[in-house]
Amino acid sequence: MKKKVQYICMIAMFIILGACKMKTEVKSLYPRSADSFVGDPMPYFDGNEYKIYYLEDLRNGEVGFHPFSLFTTTDFYHYQDEGEVIPFVNEEDSPERALGTGSVIKDKAGKYHAFYTAHNSERLPKELIMHATSKDGKKWMKQPEDTFEGDTEYENNDFRDPYVFFEEESQSYWMLITTRQNNTGIIAKYTSTDLTSWENQGVFFVNDIGNDSNLECPSLVQFKGTWYLAFSDQWDKRVVHYRTADNPNGPFEKPEHDYVDGAGFYAGRLETDGQNLYQVGWIPTKDNHDDRFNYNWAGNLAVHQLIKKDGKLQPKLPEKAYQNLSKEHFPQWELSVGETVIIDSQATLLEGEFQVNNRTKFILSFGEENNILFDFNNRKMSYYNTHLEDIPNRKPQTEMSLTTEQTVPFQLIQEEDLVVIYDGEYALSNRIYQSKEKPTKLTLIEGSLEVK
């Protein structure tokens, strides 16, 4: 049985939207609000459009932080920025000093329900699960009487990221929660018939990635006969893993390669409209907004469409977004070893077919200190924020597998300071500030490279 928390709401129950911010239109593959950044998206397809709730990272020095804000879209390129929809409580001792990740669902009567984490590191427990309701998904009423904490078998200071969906066979709502047990990350399962009272059903999934990391931002979606469980590895690779099963209770199988993008894409939640499957995450900013430093938390919204091929998921640009992009074909080049060409284009997307061999190495350079190495011998694409000569002595900031094919459908997206690569099987997302200021260069290091 869940532990109910007696919590008296210290702000008005109704949250009137639009008072703080006018709705604005954003045209972008990777949107964010003008004065803030996107963390932990919570996508929901309501039958007509995608409502993408997210933790808004305002970075404004307030006591509280991370309200729920909202983008809506039908094509993942034209977005309506609806602004803040569920606020934090800007008081040091409030359980809701910060809001944490959750999810949104619509019940059979058409009412929206948001479940979210209340977080305050100065309180015990630090994290609680809370509930809010809405008629339209935009104006919300908090339901503090439904608040609950983790059962004693879980670490209730790590008890967050509720993901709720309706499971047809059991005719009940399931809530998956990120927590810990026996010093390792797990996903716990709770169930409900009324979206108000929740029963603990025990451990749903145990960390199987070889560390004790928390399994953040879980989601579970059925798509074309397969159940896909996704979660983000908090402490090791910092990537979004996925597992597959024939039914929602598992057992879940780990694919040979269980993620589609590197550490420049995080907290990717799955969502489907029944015809298409998407992974919705964010590309982080860097400390001091400087390429020399590490990635930090929150940035721009990023979406991969996922297709099933040869038993695994492969990422691609969302098809509807692709139709809206300015795009060009790569020039036809046949490079010699050591040759450098300048990629001179104002288009958001450059695409073409690269012919390589198993010795091919080439570099995409964005200034002198930002280089992506494509190594077809080791089947890796790796981003280094250092000079070329320093690469052998440095670890990459992000890294991802390369296709095993020698004919590569290659896409390079550059939007503002974001650089995203698709190679036909995998993606590599990064923020490279210098990409806005320096010409992009391609240099063949070894092997052969023909661009068609």
**24 Cβ contact list (under 8 Å, min separation 6):** 80, 81
The string of pLDDT tens digits covering residues 397-428 is 999 999 999 999 999 999 999 999 999 999 99
Contact 278, 303 (CB under 8 A): yes
Fold adopted by 3-320: Tachylectin-2; Chain A (2.115.10)
pLDDT of res. 311: 84
Section 348-367 average pLDDT: 97
Whether residue 67 has pLDDT greater than 60: yes
pTM over 0.75: yes
Q: Which fold has domain 325-451?
A: Jelly Rolls (2.60.120)
Per-residue pLDDT at 227 exceeds 50: yes
Query: Does residue 54 register a pLDDT over 50?
Result: yes
* DSSP SS3 for 320: helix
Whether the pLDDT of residue 1 is over 70: the answer is no
Domain residue spans of the chain = 3-320, 325-451
Instruction: Determine the pLDDT at residue 6.
Output: 54
The percent of residues above 90 in pLDDT, for the chain, comes to 94
Weakest mean pLDDT among 55-59, 139-143, 267-271, 434-438: 434-438
Domain 3-320 and domain 325-451, same fold? Reply is no
Phi, psi of 289 (to 5 degrees): 50, 50
Distance separating alpha carbons of residues 412 and 430, to the nearest angstrom: 12
Amino acid identity, position 205: F
> Residue type for 157, please?
N
Q: Is the pLDDT assigned to residue 17 strictly greater than 50? A: no
Cα separation, 216 vs 218, in Å, equals 6
pLDDT surpassing 50 at residue 116: yes
With a cut of 50, say whether residue 149 has pLDDT above it: yes
Give the C-alpha separation, 266 to 343, whole Å.
29
How far is Cα 275 from Cα 302, in angstroms, rounded to an integer?
A: 20
Strands (DSSP E) contained in 120-265 are 127-134, 140-142, 148-149, 159-167, 172-181, 184-192, 199-206, 215-223, 226-233, 240-245
